[in-house]
Structure 1
């Protein structure tokens, strides 16, 4: 096991120069966390960092986690395993393991041991007895929840907020709530923080964020917007995908339509509605996940 788990965390903050934004009096910067590392990037590294340190402090030599077949989290954990010389296990939601799936292929190339389970068993991934049984089976493993969100994940995401230039609004995509909670923890109380829920009926995440962040429980400078999910998790409209392609060609900003693309498209609509006061400085966090484009191509969704 390595003495330390480190990558270079310096990434650019890209200004989006657009006449339409200028007309609205908006300065928009994108924190390019997709450029953190070729394989372990975005919020996945932020969440993993302190979990790996915690794993080491517990003298665990293996990492076990959960995810779907196209999961960015599984991809990042597998890459971290290869990079840092760790044995990794992925409990994959089945019922079958598609060996042609690019995310699965990558995880296997990194040496991750994949354990496919049916959907009924996968639903037990937070069940105490199920986890106790798994711990008996994998005694040397550090267990990390699906998506990587827990207390230790918050520390890494808080560091991201602390690294940013001055701004009025901070916006991020929200899947499990960990990144949003970390940004609230790491931000000044004068900053307005907005999460864009990427899944349907995500109001329950408001309580999850409060559980993860003491500041979220006591401060009112944040909100989760739940009306921009585009049909649900993993779903997106032709208009959203066209927007992603436009941002890539016009502003050299690569996006996928599941997380960061969905968030920026929502931001565009909010700016159109004059949601932000004239003169606002906004930072949008690109949380990575571009590996997911290969999976969308594989499924002929793009």
Structure 2
């Protein structure tokens, strides 16, 4: 069977879904807990955290949410091979490679840059899990969404399911939207880091008929670009969301001493692990925004911990 790059929304077969949960030992629903911080809080906001980092020690956070229904689709169609894209420290490739190993599906990772002389910890894991790693140059990688390049890949791997970078397809929205169904009560804001756009798009789609606002914290330089990524995944335009671009600290995977010190202090105060690529920038931004009275008085805020702690290696 041939698989396409994008997939349409479909209801997963209960048998395949239960098999997936059992084989991967997924813990759901993830915990939801209050964060009592010593930050200045002039508007008396309530801050809770959704602990998607605890879903699985390897398939962590939004990676499981975004991959869940793509993996179900693969199982239901007897897919024997999955191909996807990412950088040398990609949380997405790491999670997907582990899933494929556990499900006995061949996995091919198309990686931006050549790490053969000095493979990252993530790539070392992929090698141990018998993944097929193809290193490509920057210009080739930039074609990863182009129809003609995807057609060539599909010809090279005729029986493969091709999953986009970050797992960002329509099936990802279904998995992310389930976060909202798990919540214990109403929130005025849900706040999450933004890189590939699928997590934010899923949250937006799931809450568009409520009064909840969705705020993304951009973790890379991408004003306009990130908004476009999100909008492309949505079935229509919604008006209850925005992305803040003031806390990327210089770009994707860039950080500074203040951010790294913040991550360490945050753990000491909460015993919640965060890293400077995604979750660190999320909570760093929240501290500043709450301190600056960005949110209305008595706002109930949920911060989504999207996992990805392996990337800090």
Q: What TM-score, normalized to structure 1?
A: 0.91
Moved more, 91-100 or 261-270: 91-100
User: How do 1:105-254 residues align onto structure 2 when only pairs under 5 Å count?
Assistant: 105-165=124-184, 166-187=186-207, 188-214=209-235, 217=237, 219-254=238-273
Q: Distance in 1 between matches of 2:235 and 2:212?
A: 16
Answering whether residue 20 of structure 2 is matched by residue 5 of structure 1, we say yes
Cα 1:178–1:280 change in 2 (3 A) is same
Moved more, 176-185 or 130-139: 130-139
Shift of 1:150: 0.8
| Superposed CA offset, 1:152-207 (max 9, x none) | 11100011122112211100000011000000111252001101111113312212
Secondary structure of the equivalent of 1:214? coil
Q: Distance in 1 between matches of 2:230 and 2:63?
A: 17
1:124–1:130 CA contact under 8 A, matched in 2: yes
Shift of 1:22: 5.9
Cα 1:290–1:186 change in 2 (3 A) is same
Unmatched tracts of structure 1, length 5 or more? 295-302
Q: CA RMSD in A?
A: 1.7
Moved more, 169-178 or 7-16: 7-16
Q: Distance in 1 between matches of 2:116 and 2:87?
A: 10
Unmatched tracts of structure 2, length 5 or more? 1-14
Shift of 1:146: 0.9
Q: Distance in 1 between matches of 2:312 and 2:226?
A: 26
Q: Distance in 2 between matches of 1:22 and 1:208?
A: 32
Shift of 1:91: 0.6
Q: What TM-score, normalized to structure 2?
A: 0.88
> What's the counterpart of residue 31 of structure 1?
50
* Higher RCO (Cα < 8 Å, 6 or more apart): 2
Secondary structure of the equivalent of 1:276? coil
